[in-house]
Amino acid sequence: MSEKYTEKKVANKNHTVQNHRNDNKKKGDIACKVARKCGGCQYQGVSYKKQLSEKQKAVRQLMQPFCKTAEITGMKDPYHYRNKVHAVFVRKKDGTIISGVYEEGTHRVVPVEACQIEDEKADAIINDIRGLLKSFKIKTYNEDTGYGLLRHVLIRRGFTTGEIMVVLVLGSPVMPSKNNFVRALRKLHPEITTVVLNVNDKRTSMVLGDRETTIYGKGYIEDVLCGLTFRISSRSFYQINPVQTEKLYEKAMELAGLTGRERVIDAYCGIGTIGMVAAKSAKEVIGVELNPDAVRDAVKNAKRNQMKNIRFYQDDAGRFMEKMAAKGEKADVVFMDPPRSGSTEQFMKSAVTLAPQKIVYISCDPQTQARDLKYLTKRGYKAMGAYPYDMFPFTKHAENIVLLVKQK
């Protein structure tokens, strides 16, 4: 999956759209005013049908040495799918406050009013926060001097529940008139359910700092995925495209073929989404995740959904499986969903040692997945099929599931 827990201040999104429903643009047409500066959407001006065709071709070429590739599953409506939106705030030399993203490869901010792939409600909230800064005399953070208060705003929305979290990332822990600011913001957007102050006072490329204070609401939101309710905090990894995620997970469960008798490992489990979906059909699920915030959310999510056949451990997934194998323990199915960089040789070695009958490999970068398949298919596993999903329309990225079965 594409984003894990701490987000870098990199502008990989896109912006103001004109006539974005026109799916028949000529090659070279740009639907977004700042597409060339942003660089987040590599398929600007390309019809959605053509995008899917290009992604299908790329995945098929990568998977060709291992297995057949099914037809890519696209979106019915490929716009405004991102449930998490980030904006950086700066003041121009003339005093004008702008919000947006960094120009690709630089720290120059590209102003953004709206984006064709971002949640429209999130964009509206960010625009209104920008408008409130002047009346509340809140200064934006200056990266060069280290002075100023507001650095970033992060919005997360539960598409099913409608709950909205606003995270104000500050350069110092004190925000004057914070309660009045929240009241003014909620007057404009009463649908906001929680507001969090995050303090990042370091000269760093990371968006979020380590300290947080909830100044309105419960400090997290909830959303429903595959019939389960998940708690999402500011740092939680949660798939940015929930519409496609449900389709992706349904296919993953179909490939796993769970009957209620299996012991399952959910490696790189995050807040427990895949593992909890699997727990509905498995005898036992073990979720392993290195990030402590995610593990805490996962435990709460299991309790929230009254699931008693799933346990979570804060550990490196590879080391955890090595220890299981050393004790003579077994697992029937392993779900692995590593970051874009792919898995590690240590993890795959431990997976081979543990020897599950099936490995369901979910990847947000088929290129690194192909590298990992080369390792696994030389060590007793056969790839049975690849199933690509377009999780990120207008970008070059695609998600891909591969089922690997242990050969006798």
Domain architecture of the chain: domains with CATH = 52-76+241-406 (3.40.50.150), 84-224 (2.40.50.1070)
On average, the pLDDT of the chain sits at 89
pLDDT at position 37: 81
Which range is most confident: 40-44, 281-285, 316-320?
Answer: 281-285
Which of 10-14, 137-141, 201-205 comes out lowest in average pLDDT? 10-14
> 6 pLDDT exceeds 80?
no
Which of the pair, 207 or 283, is modelled with greater confidence?
A: 283
Written in H, E and C, the secondary structure of 101-169 is EECCCCCCEEECCCCCCECHHHHHHHHHHHHHHHHCCCCECCCCCCCCCEEEEEEEECCCCCCEEEEEE
User: Which residue type occupies 187?
Assistant: K
pLDDT at position 9: 38
State the Rg of the chain over Cα.
22
Which of the pair, 21 or 269, is modelled with greater confidence?
A: 269
> 367 pLDDT exceeds 70?
yes
Cα angle, residue 364 at apex, residues 334 and 165 outer, rounded to 5°: 100
Spell out the residues 6+ positions from residue 190 whose beta carbon is closer than 8 angstroms to its own: none
Whole-angstrom CA distances from 264 to 283, 286, 287, 321, 379 are 8, 6, 8, 12, 20
> 183 pLDDT exceeds 50?
yes
Share of the chain above pLDDT 90, in %: 68
Predicted confidence band of residue 34 (pLDDT cuts 50, 70, 90): confident
pLDDT at position 384: 98
Is 67 part of the annotated catalytic residue set?
Answer: no
Spell out the residues 6+ positions from residue 386 whose beta carbon is closer than 8 angstroms to its own: 59, 60, 63, 66, 67, 68, 69, 70, 366, 400, 401, 402
CA dist., res. 233 & res. 48, Å (int): 32
Instruction: Please write the tens of the pLDDT for every residue from 124-150.
Output: 999 999 999 999 999 998 888 888 899
Q: Are 67 and 386 in contact (CB under 8 A)?
A: yes
pLDDT at position 355: 93
> 17 pLDDT exceeds 50?
no
Instruction: Please write the tens of the pLDDT for every residue from 378-394.
Output: 999 999 999 999 999 99
pLDDT at position 311: 97
Q: Hey, how many other C-beta atoms are within 10 angstroms of the C-beta on 225?
A: 19
Average pLDDT over residues 231-240: 88
Average pLDDT over residues 315-344: 91
pLDDT at position 30: 52
Sign of dihedral through CA atoms 48, 52, 53, 55? positive
Instruction: Please write the tens of the pLDDT for every residue from 72-119.
Output: 999 999 999 999 999 999 988 888 898 988 887 778 888 888 899 999
Active-site residue identified among 32, 41, 269, 364:
364
Instruction: Please write the tens of the pLDDT for every residue from 164-180.
Output: 999 999 999 999 999 99
Predicted confidence band of residue 15 (pLDDT cuts 50, 70, 90): very low
Q: What is the largest CA-CA distance in the chain?
A: 71
Share of the chain above pLDDT 70, in %: 93
> 238 pLDDT exceeds 90?
no
Average pLDDT over residues 39-61: 92
Which residue is it, tokens 């790329």? Answer: 58
Average pLDDT over residues 233-253: 93
Which of the pair, 390 or 39, is modelled with greater confidence?
A: 390
Q: DSSP secondary structure string, 15-47?
A: --BSSTT---PPTT--SBTTHHHH---TTTTS-
